[in-house]
Structure 1
């Protein structure tokens, strides 16, 4: 998988090749992009937890040098009146995020009860899987003891017990717009740079509850 720096460098080479950025939007003059508003999505999750009277929220993220994680952390921090604690993992590889989130969640729940988070948001599906695995092993009930939200609605979120509240990303819409824009670029129908940013939605399930 190309790194963020490699991707930026490639886009800046000005090769005469039509390129559409998906789920990233680096500031490159000649490159189209189709992404979601990660700041909005993260703030949506935190605002919802705030409405449920949660005042101690942990937001577990991957490495903030990754575009999506940095944007989601920004959204979590600027949202609501609750105290949001950003817990960053050093891992960048998707498969390592599960273990990292599992370990961080264990540390969070070892705290004195007055300092524990009452809600945890996982910045992607792998992180959320690590969170719920750790909570289950410790016998911590969701949502009675801790509410959980996943950024990303993986299929397992629907069938987990309890089903997990999720930020649903407009994945199909992003793919459709990106494909259409790329075809227009290839055929010369469109010569203007288009940067499209879509909004995600909150799907509430049984993993979140009011304090």
Structure 2
């Protein structure tokens, strides 16, 4: 009777591949924090040594990768609609999602790995170099939706054509005959806000329109910014006849300030928003806005995170989806009292 052949161990595979036992274990368990070429080499050796069964056991259809989704602040319409896209895409992909408020406590990335997370999606959250270093050490890929700052090369991001959207919004107001058009946006340093501002300025300059002092203001992407910003704009000696707001919440604040001053929308003041979230359809009148494909952005982020978690190469570090102007009842030609700036 021939002696039974010795069973190949993880240590045997590790020695043949020239890597640690921990690295082989990560491949066997489907972890994403292994370089693609190393993963391929280890998988080849596992196959050669007939060590495939554990791999299949850990990657069978009932094992769903888990993605951590983090956001800051309240569950506003922008976040909610983006989350819908993430959740729908996860259901289609067979993945599971855990949603949490962003917590950057010590060793937070390591704790996520221990909890079985395979990647992180952040909705407009800001991560420092130290946070990114910890993510890299933990092997967790990061995908940021609508990043507030220019992403680090280690970060993949999903956004929209903010410059084109700003251009389209301003051109719409110009086509109606407005000359005194103001821009009231979010944080001045936010890359999405900068792109929308540049689109606004490009449209104004292309049409030969001057942007008076005080016509470009920044704040937060909040209703309160709309209230305060509109108060300042409408108190100018030569107030605007139209306001392009950096998002729908700001636009709603502008409409409310105009109402309290006895101004009619759009007869006395035209307003355009950005995002096309549910408040855009509930304002009075319904808001003309630039549609940002939030659900599609969420779905793209989820699929990108899954590819990265599986060790696949993603062709682009930043993906932009197209925006679209949606014309409703909050914009019209300027009233009789409006005139071109001198």
State the TM bucket, normalised to the shorter chain. Answer: 0.7 to 0.9
Looking at structure 1, the residues matched to 244 and 126 of structure 2 have their Cα atoms a distance apart, in angstroms, of 29
Contact 1:170 1:198 in 2 (8 A): yes
Cα offsets for 1:100-154 (capped at 9, x unmatched): 3212212322334xx1101011111221121011001111011111111011212
Aligned to 2:64: none
Aligned to 1:31: 155
1:7 and 2:122 equivalent?
Answer: no
Cα offsets for 1:26-49 (capped at 9, x unmatched): 342232211112111111100111
1:83 and 2:215 equivalent?
Answer: no
Q: Which has the higher contact order (CA 8 A, sep 6+)?
A: 1
Contact 1:168 1:200 in 2 (8 A): yes
Structure possessing the higher radius of gyration over alpha carbons? 2
Contact 2:183 2:245 in 1 (8 A): yes
With normalisation by structure 1, the TM-score equals: 0.86
Looking at structure 2, the residues matched to 31 and 101 of structure 1 have their Cα atoms a distance apart, in angstroms, of 32
Greater shift in the superposed pair: 97-106 or 174-183: 97-106
Cα offsets for 1:134-192 (capped at 9, x unmatched): 00111101111111101121213213221110111111111111111111111123354
Aligned to 1:118: 241
SS of 2:267's partner is coil
Structure 1 position 8, deviation (Å) = 4.4
SS of 2:127's partner is helix
Contact 2:151 2:157 in 1 (8 A): no
Aligned to 1:102: 227
Residue segments in structure 1 that go unaligned for 5+ positions in a row: none
Contact 1:31 1:193 in 2 (8 A): no
Q: Structure 1 residues 194, 88: closer, same or farther in 2, change over 3 A?
A: closer
With normalisation by structure 2, the TM-score equals: 0.55
Residue segments in structure 2 that go unaligned for 5+ positions in a row: 1-71, 73-101, 105-123, 335-342
Contact 1:57 1:83 in 2 (8 A): no
Looking at structure 2, the residues matched to 8 and 36 of structure 1 have their Cα atoms a distance apart, in angstroms, of 23
Greater shift in the superposed pair: 101-110 or 1-10: 1-10
Aligned to 1:60: 184
Total equivalences in the alignment: 204
